[in-house]
Structure 1
Amino acid sequence: MTVRVRRTTPRWHTHELRLGTDEVTKRYHDTQAEPAEREWRALVLLQRHAPGLAPRPLRRTPGRHPDLVMSRLPGEPLRGTPVAGPALVALADSVARLLDAVPPAAAAALPERRAGRAEATAQIRQWYARRTPAAREPGVAAVLAEGMRWLERPWPAVAEEAGLEPVLGQGDGNLANFLWDGERVRVVDFEESGRSDRAFELAEITEHVGSWVDPGTAFDAEEFLGLVPLDAGERVRLLECRRLIALVWLLMLTRDDPARPRNPRGTVRAQAARLDALLGQVC
């Protein structure tokens, strides 16, 4: 039996899933081959270096809308659930394993993940220059202005990329991409994956709107981060990365269509408060 599921990701792509008993077929609606190539490459690397953590790549078909067939994993998405106790520990363990899995030399050879620092910064500037009415509301506008002032300041030297060990970054921290079976967490959705670093990938998870916006989600970001070992420099970089991603999300959320909102009422103001807290935080 095959079930067809259409899924929309929160950024730029849409794809369709066909769920079989043992296999999942992912059809990419992006007419470019890049998302499929990124996903296939990541799954091949993880099958080699961390088997069982992600779907096993089975086959792919090229074309205008490429298909990728992978093994079907057990478990349910963590998004919309209370991510605490054993589930939180398992999530931290799997994320740490993912970040340690691919040898640095192999990770260094990868193209940079989508929406890395440079791409995110350019997107922020573009969106800020074309602010929507939601971005001009007094409380939101003030936080955005402070965020833009922060964006133009140099990062601390210890937070810069130079000397960081490269990792395979999954590229999409949506908790829906982490499947919990009661014992283990496995990871799916690598179409934005590529070369990254530990701090950026952890910030991607903690600052993704899916980590807090849904009723039923209970995810303590600070507790989660305390379960993943980081050195002092990575902790400084982590705060800067969290600020950057939170600023991206605030501007993205202000662009939501008010006639067809995808998030609960008050989400923009709640995101502004989250960014404001991060801007005031001292590492």
Structure 2
Amino acid sequence: MTVGRCTHGIELHDHTVTKRYASWERGEPRREWTALRLLAEHAPGLAPEPVEAALESDSPLIVMSRLPGQVVRGMNATGEQIAAIATALNRLHQIPRAVVDDVAPAPWGPATAVRKIRALADAHPDLGHDGLVRQAFRVGAAWVNSNAPDQLLANPFPPVLGLADGNHANMLWDDRDRTVRLIDWEDSGRNDRAFELGELTEHISRLDGTLDTRLLLDSLDLTWREAERVHSFRRLIALGWFLQLGPDGPATPHNPPGTLQRQAERILYLFT
């Protein structure tokens, strides 16, 4: 849920991409290189192929294969494209437990999110005077300060390798082979699958284009209990974005006018 952070530069070549990191306080180069290598072995074709890396240099970099395709962010995703996203996510989440257990935890996960979003709510950010917005704040703040989010911190399901970043720009639709691939693994790590799906479905990038969330979730192999956890994490992530969209909020400069009101509507929808 980081807003306005740029950690790297990209150099595009005919067949490869070089990613040079400008900051790496969370171990971004090693996280990305680890993920790409695991994916090449356990889910080949789902992400860029790792080519080479200089992880210990003064300016860390990774060279990876260049993937064809168009970012999903900004698209009005069709049923076929949503099915391809579900296929990609299912492949990712089926990487063996023994492999995932050896991966470092993602820096953005349930415990971090609950702490951050409770702190945002407790700070009573200036969200203006719109009645709908005020109603959404009351509903969301009451929930996040109840014990409901605490019930999400113990994960009864196997962890997965996750991007820990729901930006729809991290999904590439390849019109030639009708598949979706996943990019930008710098925040990746071991994570809660339900959290990952909540992050993807409620990332603020969903407002740029359209993606039928219900169709996507119905296309995944979720049990009833998993679906309930996903819905709770959707509430949490949507609320986090909402609380950063006030007149002086950190997410406001990156989104068009009216985003706060649209997000307020989303909060009330998720809490009904």
The alpha carbon displacement at 1:131 in A equals 4.0
- Partners of 2:119 and 2:75 in 1: how far apart? 34
Matched, 1:150 2:143: yes
Cα pair 2:155 2:192 within 8 Å, conserved: no
User: TM-score, normalized by length of structure 2?
Assistant: 0.90
Residue 16 of structure 2 corresponds to 23
Residue 245 of structure 2 corresponds to 253
- Partners of 2:151 and 2:24 in 1: how far apart? 39
Amino acid at match of 1:267: T
5+ long unaligned stretches in structure 2: none
Identity %: 39
Matched, 1:75 2:35: no
Relative distance call for 1:27 and 1:110 in structure 2 (3 A) is same
Number of residue pairs the alignment of both structures matches: 266
- Partners of 2:109 and 2:149 in 1: how far apart? 18
Cα pair 1:35 1:191 within 8 Å, conserved: yes
Amino acid at match of 2:68: P
- Partners of 1:131 and 1:158 in 2: how far apart? 24
- Partners of 2:15 and 2:125 in 1: how far apart? 45
Structure-to-structure mapping, 1:142-221, within 5 angstroms: 142-155=135-148, 161-182=154-175, 183-211=178-206, 213-214=207-208, 217-221=209-213
- Partners of 2:30 and 2:111 in 1: how far apart? 21
Cα pair 2:97 2:159 within 8 Å, conserved: yes
Secondary structure of the corresponding residue to residue 26 of structure 1: strand
- Partners of 1:56 and 1:210 in 2: how far apart? 26
User: RMSD of aligned C-alpha atoms?
Assistant: 2.2
User: TM-score, normalized by length of structure 1?
Assistant: 0.86
Amino acid at match of 2:40: Q
The alpha carbon displacement at 1:167 in A equals 0.7
Matched, 1:113 2:106: yes
The alpha carbon displacement at 1:148 in A equals 2.0
Secondary structure of the corresponding residue to residue 128 of structure 1: helix
The alpha carbon displacement at 1:243 in A equals 0.6
Amino acid at match of 1:232: W
- Partners of 1:121 and 1:156 in 2: how far apart? 7
Relative distance call for 1:20 and 1:110 in structure 2 (3 A) is same
Secondary structure of the corresponding residue to residue 243 of structure 2: helix
The alpha carbon displacement at 1:160 in A equals 5.5
Matching residue within 254, 258, 264 for 1:266: 258
Structure-to-structure mapping, 1:21-170, within 5 angstroms: 21-32=14-25, 34-61=27-54, 62-100=56-94, 102-134=95-127, 138-155=131-148, 161-170=154-163
Matched, 1:234 2:222: no
